Every structure is written in C-alpha cells, then in structure tokens.
Amino acid sequence: MNFDPRTKLVIVFCLSSLAVFILDIQYLFFILIVSVIVSNFFKDNWSVLNRIKKFIILLIGITVIQSIFSPSGDILISIGDFSLLTTGGLIKGIRVILRMLIIIISATIMKNSTPREIIQGLIQWKVPYELAFMVSLAIRFIPILAQEAKDAYTAIQLRGIEISELTLKKRFKLYSYMFMPVLSGVIHKAKELSTSLEARAFRAYPERTSFMKLKLIRRDYLVISVSMIFTLTIFSLYLI
C-alpha cells in the first residue's frame, strides 16, 4: 500500500520530534517500538532490524563514551579511581541510542518514495522549488557518496597495503587519505551538476510546470490525523 510522500514526511517528523524532545527512557523505548512497527508496515519486511545489527558496536561505544564523559550516580564499572560506567552515564548512553534508533528507523519510512515524489510533495506544501530540489539532491547523493567511500577503501588496498597488518595509528592515518578521492569526487560532481543545471535553464522562469500532481486521499488524511493525535497524546502524557 503506497501512501503520499507528504503523509510519510508527517510520520517521520512526528516520530523524530518525539525522539528529540522526550528524555524519559520508557517513553523513548515505546516510541522505538512504534517506529519499528510503522517502518515495517511501510516497507513490508524486517530488513531495518538486520541493518541495525551492523551498528551495535557503534551504539555500545557511544554508551561507554557518554558514561565516561558525563558520569553521575552509582559507579557500575571502574578501573582504579577511574569510573568507566556509572548509572547516570548508562542512562544517558541508552537515551542517545534510543534517539538515534528512532530517527534512523523512522527515516526508512521514506525509502519507498522516489526523490521525485518527495520533491513534488514538498513543492505542493509550498516549499520553494530550489529548497525542495536541494533536499532531493541530498537524498540522491547519499548512496553515491557511500559507494565512493567504499571504492576508495578498495583502491587503497589494491595499492598493496595490507590493512590488517598495520598498527592502529597507521590505520587511522591511512583512513585519512580516503577523504582525498571522495572529496574530489564530491566537488567534481557538484561542479558538473551546477553546469548542467545552468545549461538546462534552471530557475529561468519563476513558475514551474509539473506533470506529476500528488493528491492526498482519505487514508492519507486518516494516517496524518492519527500521527498528529499520537504525537500530541505522548507529549501531553510526558509533560503531565
């Protein structure tokens, strides 16, 4: 079942706003479960959970770093006088993880809308075309950038450098070199894009005509209303 991209944008906006404003872990956990269910409803599979598995080490790392730099409460793990994990730090770490998961998972709701649909949705919301176009460009370039970073990593190894045999310091130094081709690629693409935009008379006329017209139907209004009511209810319950 495909919904209007604006409906999906409202859902993403509601879930991400809740993730940002709410501090209570129980609430955040509940919102996470809702995000997973909604994301699964829109994408018809559980692939989002498989993707999150890859981030587990990163998330654990964030918890530990949060705990080290903002210790409070009882000490759970310490090395000598140095407290590695505290109850306050642990709560803050879990809060960061839950927030990140909600934002990442809710964003996947947009995945089955094409950049063209998203751009049209924003335009029909009276967002200036230039801004909507920039959003769609950002969405379009994310996988390209990821691929370029992957290619740079492969190319570095094909230069005969055995990364697994390098010390941690050398490894970090090596990774810093990867920025050069990726950055150069980005600048090159941006230049080409701006030239082709000019060549195709971008912004030549104040009004643009579009063949695509999106129309919100009853089920879109229903989902938007439910999302708004859900968000307001959670906020009210949290603030009371």
Partner 1 sequence: MKEDYYNKPFIKVNNISFSYNDSKYILNNVNASFKKGEFTAIVGPNGSGKTTFGKLLCGILSPNKGDILIENNDLSNISLGKLGQKVGYLFQEPERQLFNPTVFKEIGFAHSFMENSEDKIEKEVEKLINDFSLDGLKDSSPYKISRGERQRVALASIFINKPSFLILDEPTTGLDLVRKEKLVELLKDLLKKGIGMIVISHDNLFIESIADRVLEISGGDIYEL
Which residues would be at the binding site for partner 1 (CB under 8 A)?
A: 148, 151-152, 154-166, 170, 174, 177-178, 180-181, 184-185, 188
Residue number, 171 or 216, with CB nearest to partner 1: 171
How far apart are the C-alpha atoms of 194 and 199, rounded to whole Å?
Answer: 9
Whether the CB-CB separation of 50 and 63 falls below 8 Å is answered with no
Residue number, 82 or 177, with CB nearest to partner 1: 177
Tell the smallest beta-carbon distance from residue 153 to partner 1 (Å): 9
Tell the smallest beta-carbon distance from residue 161 to partner 1 (Å): 5
Q: Are strands 75-79 and 82-86 parallel, antiparallel or unpaired?
A: antiparallel
Residues 6+ apart with CB under 8 A from 90: 63, 67, 76
Closest residue by Cα to residue 39 from 52, 23, 21, 27: 52
Tell the smallest beta-carbon distance from residue 162 to partner 1 (Å): 3
Token code pair at residue 7 = 């409906």
Residue number, 164 or 209, with CB nearest to partner 1: 164
**Under DSSP, is residue 97 helix (H, G, I), strand (E, B) or coil?**
helix
Whether the CB-CB separation of 43 and 130 falls below 8 Å is answered with no
How far apart are the C-alpha atoms of 65 and 206, rounded to whole Å?
Answer: 50
Tell the smallest beta-carbon distance from residue 158 to partner 1 (Å): 4
Residue number, 12 or 152, with CB nearest to partner 1: 152
The 10 Å Cβ neighbour count of residue 92 is 22
Tell the smallest beta-carbon distance from residue 192 to partner 1 (Å): 13
Residue number, 176 or 209, with CB nearest to partner 1: 176
Tell the smallest beta-carbon distance from residue 164 to partner 1 (Å): 7
Whether the CB-CB separation of 28 and 240 falls below 8 Å is answered with no
How far apart are the C-alpha atoms of 189 and 127, rounded to whole Å?
Answer: 25
Residue number, 41 or 177, with CB nearest to partner 1: 177
